Chains A and B, each alone.
Chain A
Amino acid sequence: MTGKILPEKNLVVRHSALELIEHWAIAISGLVLFLTGMFELPMSKRYYIVNIPGLGWSADYMTSLYIHYAAAIVFTAAAMFHVFYHGLRGEKGLLPRKGDFSESITVIKSLFGFGEEPPMNKYLPEQRLAYAGMAFVILMLIISGLVKTYKNLYAPDMSLTVVLWATWIHNIFFILFFLAFLAHMAAILLRPNWPMVRGIFTGKVRLDYARHRHPLWIDDIEPAQEMPSMVVEDTQAPPPVPEDERS
């Protein structure tokens, strides 16, 4: 369950196991799609990629397509699951809010030492904006990919206009997907974001970090935890943070 505070371990649950599965299913299948999508271009032989040990299959368009379809099943199903599951539960924490754009600028400036970071919720304003952008890119890739797949299987003589739209949307958003991936990786390089990295692997982030950077989130979840059976001990004074984990 997300938002559960584990004071004795100085941790708070940021992502449920299901959310971690969703994230990694989309991330890994997305990278496989990116790689096999590249191999659908006539580049493997030209650039001698086919000679790299383990990539001998990269010049075989049918093998690449087969793997591309397989990854697309995971990618599409996980994306649809994400939208509908969290939609049904009414979870809107990652959706952009009014003022996110200006707040993002303030946060980004603070990352480079200009000004103070405002108190934040579970997700940073730029995370919410990035999420919306990535979701749009993924949606366009899925729709155009499904059209192309349908054409491959059932309608090779589909309207050329539709085929060209699907193809070029797929190609352009394929590049945008890669750029969004690079931006996602670049965000990890920023030191203030480091404590969040463990969250996407273990589901949990340090409580003292969350209190410091995401006080609005902690404020939201703490009253819910102050139930008789879940006594929170001395939340005002978290255990000392090991030197190597201090940011």
Chain B
Amino acid sequence: MSRQSKFQIGRRSFLKITAGAAIISGVGLPKKSFAGTDEQLSTLIDLSLCDGCADRKVPACVSACKTINKDKIPQVAQPIPIPWPRKTIEDWSKKREVFKRLTPYNFIYVHKAEVNMAGQKKTVFVPRRCMHCDNPACATICPFSANHKNKNGAVVIDQSICFGGAKCRDVCPWEIPQRQSGVGIYLHILPEYMGNGVMYKCDLCVERLAANKLPGCVEACPREALLIGTRSAIEKMAGSRAGRMNGYIYGKTQNGGTSTLYVSPVPFEEIHKTMTKKPGQPDMKVEVQRRMARTDSMGKAALAAPVLGIAAAGVAGAWNWLSHRKDKTGKEE
């Protein structure tokens, strides 16, 4: 399929955002689709537009995501092997319908936040899912590289090589990935002693993107509160919308930067206050440092170590040669 034809995917939201960005920034519409390319993407979640789909039992974004991913998790082993020595297993296979938190069967949920703003009560709805961080520790320090950041910014877990150790959840500031025990490669190795299932989370619908489709949540949102586009276009749009509503942006700096930008008319400090951090229900602290940053300087020194060793060998070798020469000269005299 040619790149020209890929442009055919230009759906309502995509066109809207690119046109919007074009107006704002003065740039033209992209000449190619972002689908299936390495161009870095971002998503925008506009909390001034999201109404939590008050008229539906399950918000449209959640519903679409569930439908798309309903067959993602294979049949769960019965009984699920009990790990040793800590006997924790996480089994959501009989609670697949849960939609008010993240689970291995639910990659997005909508939090209802009732905040006080200047004495007035205001309700905002906050869709929560993986932020697709710029430098995601969940991916970079996965011991099996089962989690990887794609060129387009999507952070994707390969369930065929994930052991479900939940390290990714431990290092994620929002503890997004969720474990389903009793599935995955660990069952074929040492299920009692190594691994404990597979981790699941939003993958930005990479397969749909590759097939020239929009992510399910973006496509399903009836109010176009979720949008996707190129990184620069989304950043410009987020800045512009926040400016117009005298609002706030979340996700641009948190955890060192992410590919998900929330725009809100309500300060995120206030939204955060309405959230109690629980398993599968992340909070929204404004100060989120990239924890791995404290290892960066040592990592840079490690990268320089070969040069350090070679330089030291050169100095020691030269010193040795000079001493030897001096001894030799001394003896000759």
Contacts and interface: CB of A to CB of B under 8 A. Distances in A.
Interface of A: 18, 40-43, 45-48, 61-62, 65-66, 69-70, 72-85, 87-89, 142, 145-146, 149-153, 156-157, 160, 163-164, 167-168, 171
A153 B151 CA distance: 16
Interface in B94-125: none
A156 B140 contact: yes
A149 B298 CA distance: 10
Given A40-B143, A42-B166, A156 B309 contact: no
A78 B309 contact: yes
A74 B308 CA distance: 10
Nearest to B83: A46
Interface in B147-161: 148-151, 153
B295 A85 contact: no
Contacts of B314: 84, 88
B188 interface: no
B299 interface: yes
A152 B150 contact: no
Interface of B: 83, 85-86, 134-136, 139-141, 143-145, 148-151, 153, 165-167, 170-171, 291-292, 294-296, 298-303, 305-306, 308-310, 312-314, 316-317, 320
Most buried by B among A18, A167, A168, A171: A167
B48 to A, nearest CB: 31
A61 B170 CA distance: 9
Contacts of B140: 151-152, 156
B305 A76 contact: yes
Contacts of B170: 42, 61
A153 B294 contact: no
Contacts of A82: 309, 313
A66 B291 CA distance: 11
B303 A153 contact: yes
Nearest to A59: B170
A79 B145 contact: no
Given A66-B295, A77-B312, A84-B310, A171 B165 contact: no
Contact of A153 (B171, B300, B312): B300
Contacts of A66: 294-295, 298
Contacts of B310: 80-81, 84
Given A62-B292, A157-B151, A171 B305 contact: no
19 contacts: A18-B316, A41-B167, A42-B167, A45-B86, A61-B141, A62-B291, A62-B295, A69-B298, A69-B302, A76-B302, A76-B309, A84-B309, A84-B314, A142-B306, A149-B302, A153-B299, A153-B300, A157-B151, A171-B144
Given A48-B85, A80-B309, A85-B316, A146 B302 contact: yes
Contacts of A61: 141, 167, 170-171
A88 B317 contact: yes
B320 A89 contact: yes
